[in-house]
Amino acid sequence: MTRTIICLARHGETNWNIERRFQGQFDIALNARGRAQAQALAHELDGAHFDRVYASDLRRALATAAPIAASRGLEVRATQRLREKDDGAWQGHTHAEVQVKYADDYPHYLSRKPDFAAPEGETLEEFARRVRLVLTDIARESAGLTVLVVAHAGVLDIAWRIATGKALSEKREHPVLNATPNWIAYDDGEWSLVDWARPEGRAEIAAPWDGVALPRREAARALIVEPAGRALLMQYAGGLSPHFLALGHHHFWATPGGALKEGETFEAALRREVAEETGLLLRGDVGPVVATREFPMELGEDWHQAIERYFLIRTEEFAPAPQSLTPEEKVHLLGWRWWSADEIAASQELIFPEGLEALLRKVNP
């Protein structure tokens, strides 16, 4: 009998986890706690032997797998087949937003209806078949070995059901914890559960904002889109966290906009910021809010509770002409460029907000 041992780990925490936002196959990075969780997982598995390391090709999984693979001199075998379930049109929205907008469909998600799919997404049955196939392929090509697989909560949920024989609609006994090892085995075509992590007795991994009353930072951001579907991004310097500086980033791209001044509304701040940074004057209705966010944000070495609204502004292509910038703002504003969704997705530059390419595609169906 040839036995393959698979250690399964979910990626570390992201800001979208905090916001209870459907991530699906959007490529969202780890936050500060998630990065600490990845290091803690690597330390927890110090004594474990792995012959191979597999991971979803999304950056939150790759970043969780990287320190474990690097310490053993192994490459991370990245594959799209280990991605989270595709939740289609729900991706990028919070659970609360989906519950309101898709009131008739959301209960099917909660009840784990096997043949239900969010618009443009996978059904649970389709997802389960994909996960079973990729895990079986990994087990067979790694026969007799011990491998690490870093993926997503949905992937681990299906793996648990494969190993226990539980139906897709049955309630899982224990949660899928971030960056925590779970073990299953494959013996000549048969799956079994070796060990599944439980929250009891596990140390919480601290984040810099834990137990701190963070100051609120409300901001209005403009998603300015020209007829070809490209978005205007401005290039900025300054304000980067030590984490990004350590990675070699000294500037970043972001949608125009900024923090509200005292007594300002989001709409008033949007008009002021857009005029200052691009020279575009917004008259009448400023446009619909296409995204809202609330998450801990690091500005330099300080943490704030960011509350952001993104307004869609459709306009002809133009060359920005910044107006009334302070001397400090002139130093920080380095340039501008129109970006397509494909260019954003392929770029190695630092671009905010997370998931911008997907948002851009959603407003340009």
**CB distance 148 to 138 below 8 Å:** no
Please give the structure tokens belonging to residue 284.
């009448």
**CB distance 357 to 344 below 8 Å:** yes
Whole-angstrom CA distances from 293 to 177, 215, 307, 316, 318 are 23, 16, 6, 27, 28
Please give the structure tokens belonging to residue 147.
């491998």
Is 343 catalytic? The answer is: no
Angle at 317 between CA 256 and CA 286, to 5 degrees: 50
Nearest-angstrom CA–CA distance, 199 and 214 = 27
Is 251 catalytic? The answer is: no
DSSP codes, 165-180: T--TTSPPSS---BT-
Whole-angstrom CA distances from 264 to 260, 289, 364 are 6, 17, 30
**CB distance 4 to 186 below 8 Å:** yes
Catalytic residue among 13, 84, 122, 218: 84
Burial of 23 (0-12, 13-18, 19+ CB in 10 A): buried
DSSP label of 268? H
User: For residue 63, what are the contacts with CB-CB under 8 A and spacing of at least 6?
Assistant: 11, 12, 29, 30, 34, 35, 38
**CB distance 252 to 233 below 8 Å:** no
Catalytic residues: 11, 84
